[in-house]
Structure 1
Amino acid sequence: MTGLWGIRRQGSLWQDEAVTYDMAHRELPELWATLGHADAVHGLYYLLMHGLFRLWEGGLVALRLPSVLAMAAATAGVAALGRRLAGPRAGLAAGVVFALLPAVQRYAQEGRSYALVTALVVAQTWVLLRACTARHRRRAWWAGYAVLVASAGLLHEFALLALVAHGVALLAARPGRAAVVAWAVAGGCAAATVTPLVLLSLRQSGQVAWIEVSMGGDVTGFLLTTGIGLACVALRRRALPAHPRTGLDTTALPLLTLPPALLLLASAVKPLYVDRYVLYAQAGLALLAGAALDALWRSGRARTLLALSTAVAVGAALGPVGTHLRGPQSRTDDVTAISHALRETVAPGDGVLFLPGSRRVWTLGHEPASYGALDLALAESRQRSHTLYGTELPPSLIPDRLLLVSRVVVVREPARERHETGAREETKEATLRDHFTRCARTAVGTARIEVYRRGDHC
């Protein structure tokens, strides 16, 4: 199983994984109180991980193993979908393609909810097909579909976008009025279940203020992926023009395109698009690619070239790409490396200042106080304040706190500073500028660790 290969990533830890680890280790009352203030969208996932760590304190392996297992289940589900819609060989190819996709390899080894959501969306797609064709126990299948949709939505609310893809696929299949009504009822019940979470997360929308949607990256990436999917459809139809049409195209194309397209459209009002939020769309790409490979093989044209090209692609996915994804350099904000660099820089009695305050996430579990430094702007710890990163002093008190020390180590992330502005952050900068001199600067991924001394010289 490729997900287990390099699962520890040489001890590196991405910042969101650090939040998962921290939240999962909070006591249930404290965790529940925190979710009322922040990160409610991931609340169910944190609760599941809390239960896992209670049973097994397995460190990084325990943190990532649920994602590995979920993506393995998703791979099996994609293969089952491909088999049902286009035959055994297409199913096998789709499963292999899915497992080797770089995004799938990445999030199969990440302590976040995206792999679990992907597995649930793949499962609900299979159950939807089963519900539409079942001759017996149709209500049970539709009930199962509703439960899967609600479960995925509770793990991450953007999983509900898969409902739109399923609706389009259903209409394209022309199953009859009863199936459409059953889908609408099941989807409506699931959406109603998730609505309280959506309303709560809307009040916490400041957490995603950092998101920027770029034409050169996000939109181009979406167009490229969509183009590959359409090319797979064209290749399949050209290779086997006389082959009877199946429901694979009408199932996979909406799943590939509609969830990310809808999130991109919503981002015109408020930037929300991040590719991992709709990771499950990769299942649609794998289904289309698997069916295209099967059709090319069955056509009997250039089988040797096809086999060689496939071998090269697999080698690249498991070689340079796979090796990179399983190394610490694949995450630009490795909490372990940043925390280590900070401890190496700080001396006992120094002050530490985070710009912006949310960058305190890089020291979860290794707070400055643990090595004799003073967290200058901290008013209340994350546990006592029931927040992700703790609360900070009001702007008026920050200058006096900074002037208590002669040496300040600043931990900053320029990209975040652009979005998380305010009087507090401006006061930090003004005090440093007026009373301190920067003497050293080190880059660790996206982090910048700077050393300031009070006065006009180092």
Structure 2
Amino acid sequence: MCGGMGEMKILHRLPIILSILIILLAAAVRFHELGTQSLWNDEGNSYVQATRTVSQIVDNAARDIHPPGYYLLLAGWVRMMGTSEFALRSLSVLASIITVAFTFGIGRRLFNTAVGALAATIMAFNTFSIYYAQEARMYALLAMWSAAAFWLLIGWIRSDGESRRWGVALAVVNAAGLYTQYAFPFVMLAQGVIVFLWLINKKTWRVIWSYFALHVLTLVLYIPWVTTAWHQITTWPNTGESIPLGQAAAQILAYLTFGVTVGSGTSIAVLFFMTFGLIQQRRVYPWWQMMLAPALGFIPVIVFLSLGLFREANLKFLLPAQIGVALWIAQGIWSLWCVQPREPRARFIPKLAAFVGAFSLLIAFITNLSPLYTQYQRDDYRAIVQFINTDPRPDDAIILNAPGQQEVFYYYYDGDAAVYPIPRGYGGDDAATLAEVQHIIENHQRIYAVFWGTNERDPNNIVESTLDHEAYEVNTQWFGDVRLVRYVTPVQFDSWVESGVQFGETITLARYALNATNVRPGDVLQIQLQWSTSAPINQPYKVFVQMIPPQGPPPAVQRDSEPAAGLRPTTTWQVGETIIDNHALILPSDLPPSHYALIIGLYNPNDPLERLIVQSQDFLFITDILVEEGE
């Protein structure tokens, strides 16, 4: 406690106004652009789960790494709000706003209104919190239950462990947290540490038994899911990455203090406030009260790292820890404000330092907010479907390489093309996958392949390597972390041109063939190049295929790729080996009718102007292509 009676009276008048203002700010930054982004893969799964019956949700969750609590809540939510991107994500927004409110309440109960307001403001503008508030997944709900649990824990401790109301509510909320995310035990462990610190001087079995009874009640409520949870947790593959501890700690600290938009590390001011708060407040408050924020901020991180869970995508499990860090920083700012130097003329200095430090943090939060809405867009399945729908053909096929994409893909796609989710199931049957891809190539003229999570479902790259070898890649486009590759299936070449032309000192174009020289806009021009080398090649080269209009460059149509769609870089070529290199050019629907020169060449991808010389030029003329009037 600090400050005179005048300050305390003002502070007592502020709680309602401050809480409303902070909650409105938190809502504004979370609802902003909420429906703009496409749903991404995991959100598609949430959508499908929410449209199922209760029994179907529970059954599917039993085979997943997420318990059913969030899906059940979302199912009720969408029946009221609808299934738009905005509606699906708004449940997470609401949970995140409630988390901000609970953070305010925790800070006020622990210390005072000022600490609560500071902590809630940090929570409101932290982009880590906002990022997952704008996602139709369970992580914002995980943070909400965590904040609610600690708010209730403080109430139970304040009652000296005697209030059944606080105790039962805490047990129910803990059970809700366990039904929401398997990382919630990290939060319960932090609760246990705080209770232990509180009980050090109690020396009473009654309170210990009371706390034990709360956990028994939580377990009773969770019994229907205990066996399933244990099986899923112990059998699901660990997705953590091996990374130096210092690097992991720096990134975690950045997320917990400022958010996802700052890279790694944090500011000196934050570290100072966190340290200063502990030093100052140990003289004023009991251990459990002083250590609550550090325990919530630190213990989940220790458990997370100890279990080898670190990777950037898993940091969402630490959203509850961000609540503790926000309280911890606020605790330090208020401690500095309360410093009373002996010299009266110097008493403004701590307050000025606290104000300047807090204001600089606020500026940093606001500065880091803007990139969140533009540079941290998720995978854009909406744009993928729009691209596929620009020119639908009856014989199109769509391959979803990782069947888990079906849910989000069908959220947007209602076309007539055949959709193949392969490899089937969890993958592993390479022979069956190969046979299915070959069947697709034989029965369709155009193929759209949507690649995501290939290392997990198709570790031997059967789908893409088969398409690259036996079909013709037209182009590749990234939509976030999802790659859309367009292929055309091969045609029989009527004739071959024996070339024997040498590129540079070692590479020879043995022969080539085209499917046509008279084409129309919208057609696909296929060309197969067969290469060889007279010596090993240390430099990777890209192949370019271009159609040059009568007036000269730039090319009207072009394709650039390492040989065999990147599967056979020139550095892998062996002497005496023939490299099959397929290329396809899809002609724009508005391509003007005319004669075009088809040329090819090779260049250094690190320096595109460095081309291999062929017949005293840096390209080889193949033939004239006549583009006729479209039908």
State how far apart, in whole Å, the 2-side matches of 1:191 and 1:331 are.
Answer: 39
The answer to whether the 8 Å contact 1:94/1:287 transfers is yes
**Counterpart for residue 220 of structure 1:** 250
1:411 partner letter: V
Q: CA deviation at 1:288?
A: 0.7
Whether 1:19 and 2:45 are equivalent positions in the alignment is: yes
Change beyond 3 A, Cα 1:377–1:279: closer
Summarize the alignment of residues 94-173 of structure 1 with structure 2, pairs less than 5 Å apart.
94-134=119-159, 138-173=163-198
Whether 1:293 and 2:333 are equivalent positions in the alignment is: yes
State how far apart, in whole Å, the 2-side matches of 1:433 and 1:291 are.
Answer: 59
Choose from 208, 216, 235 the match for 1:180.
208
Structure 1 or 2: larger helix share?
A: 1
2:332 partner letter: A
**Cα-to-partner distance string for 1:307-361 (whole Å, 9 max, x where unaligned):** 344334323423x43233234x423313323333343475442111122333335
Change beyond 3 A, Cα 1:346–1:266: farther
TM-score (norm 2): 0.62
Choose from 412, 415, 431 the match for 2:451.
412
Q: Could you tell which deviates more after superposition, 6-15 or 102-111?
A: 6-15
Choose from 357, 363, 377 the match for 1:315.
363
Change beyond 3 A, Cα 1:48–1:452: same
Change beyond 3 A, Cα 1:379–1:372: farther
Change beyond 3 A, Cα 1:232–1:57: same
**Counterpart for residue 260 of structure 1:** 301
The answer to whether the 8 Å contact 2:401/2:421 transfers is no
TM-score (norm 1): 0.83
The answer to whether the 8 Å contact 2:382/2:412 transfers is no
1:64 partner letter: R
SS of the residue corresponding to residue 338 of structure 2 reads helix
The answer to whether the 8 Å contact 1:264/1:273 transfers is no
Whether 1:325 and 2:382 are equivalent positions in the alignment is: no
**Counterpart for residue 395 of structure 2:** 349
Structure 1 or 2: larger strand share?
A: 2
**Counterpart for residue 3 of structure 1:** 27
Change beyond 3 A, Cα 1:345–1:246: farther
Choose from 52, 59, 78 the match for 2:84.
59
**Counterpart for residue 384 of structure 1:** none
The answer to whether the 8 Å contact 1:376/1:402 transfers is no
**Counterpart for residue 79 of structure 1:** 104
SS of the residue corresponding to residue 418 of structure 1 reads helix
State how far apart, in whole Å, the 1-side matches of 2:332 and 2:359 are.
Answer: 16
Q: Identity percentage over the alignment?
A: 20
Change beyond 3 A, Cα 1:304–1:167: same
**Counterpart for residue 502 of structure 2:** none
Change beyond 3 A, Cα 1:388–1:345: farther
The answer to whether the 8 Å contact 1:38/1:388 transfers is no
SS of the residue corresponding to residue 215 of structure 1 reads coil
The answer to whether the 8 Å contact 2:38/2:379 transfers is no
Q: Could you tell which deviates more after superposition, 104-113 or 190-199?
A: 190-199
The answer to whether the 8 Å contact 2:67/2:229 transfers is no
The answer to whether the 8 Å contact 1:339/1:363 transfers is yes
1:317 partner letter: F
Q: CA deviation at 1:184?
A: 2.7
1:287 partner letter: L
* Unpaired segments ≥5 residues, structure 2: 1-23, 258-264, 340-347, 491-527, 529-581, 585-631
Q: CA deviation at 1:115?
A: 1.8
Q: CA deviation at 1:201?
A: 4.5
How many pairs does the alignment contain? Answer: 441
SS of the residue corresponding to residue 47 of structure 2 reads helix
Q: CA deviation at 1:447?
A: 1.3
Choose from 239, 247, 252 the match for 1:211.
239
Q: CA deviation at 1:208?
A: 6.4
State how far apart, in whole Å, the 2-side matches of 1:168 and 1:419 are.
Answer: 38
SS of the residue corresponding to residue 8 of structure 1 reads coil
Change beyond 3 A, Cα 1:146–1:112: same
SS of the residue corresponding to residue 200 of structure 1 reads helix
The answer to whether the 8 Å contact 2:69/2:176 transfers is no
State how far apart, in whole Å, the 2-side matches of 1:64 and 1:256 are.
Answer: 26
Higher relative contact order, structure no. (Cα contacts within 8 Å, ≥ 6 residues apart): 1
* Unpaired segments ≥5 residues, structure 1: 381-386
Choose from 391, 396, 401 the match for 2:440.
401
Change beyond 3 A, Cα 1:338–1:184: farther
**Counterpart for residue 250 of structure 1:** 291
Whether 1:93 and 2:134 are equivalent positions in the alignment is: no
2:450 partner letter: V
Change beyond 3 A, Cα 1:62–1:453: closer
**Cα-to-partner distance string for 1:38-83 (whole Å, 9 max, x where unaligned):** 35x2422111111122223262332222222222222222122212
Please report the RMSD computed on the Cα atoms of aligned residues, expressed in angstroms.
3.5
State how far apart, in whole Å, the 2-side matches of 1:182 and 1:419 are.
Answer: 46
State how far apart, in whole Å, the 2-side matches of 1:235 and 1:30 are.
Answer: 52
State how far apart, in whole Å, the 1-side matches of 2:161 and 2:196 are.
Answer: 22
The answer to whether the 8 Å contact 2:441/2:489 transfers is no
2:169 partner letter: G
State how far apart, in whole Å, the 2-side matches of 1:143 and 1:220 are.
Answer: 38
SS of the residue corresponding to residue 410 of structure 1 reads strand
Change beyond 3 A, Cα 1:27–1:189: closer
Whether 1:282 and 2:322 are equivalent positions in the alignment is: yes
The answer to whether the 8 Å contact 1:160/1:191 transfers is no
The answer to whether the 8 Å contact 2:45/2:408 transfers is no
State how far apart, in whole Å, the 1-side matches of 2:355 and 2:315 are.
Answer: 31
SS of the residue corresponding to residue 365 of structure 1 reads helix
Whether 1:234 and 2:237 are equivalent positions in the alignment is: no
**Cα-to-partner distance string for 1:267-325 (whole Å, 9 max, x where unaligned):** 27x9898111231111110111111111122224253454344334323423x432332
Whether 1:429 and 2:477 are equivalent positions in the alignment is: no
The answer to whether the 8 Å contact 1:377/1:401 transfers is no
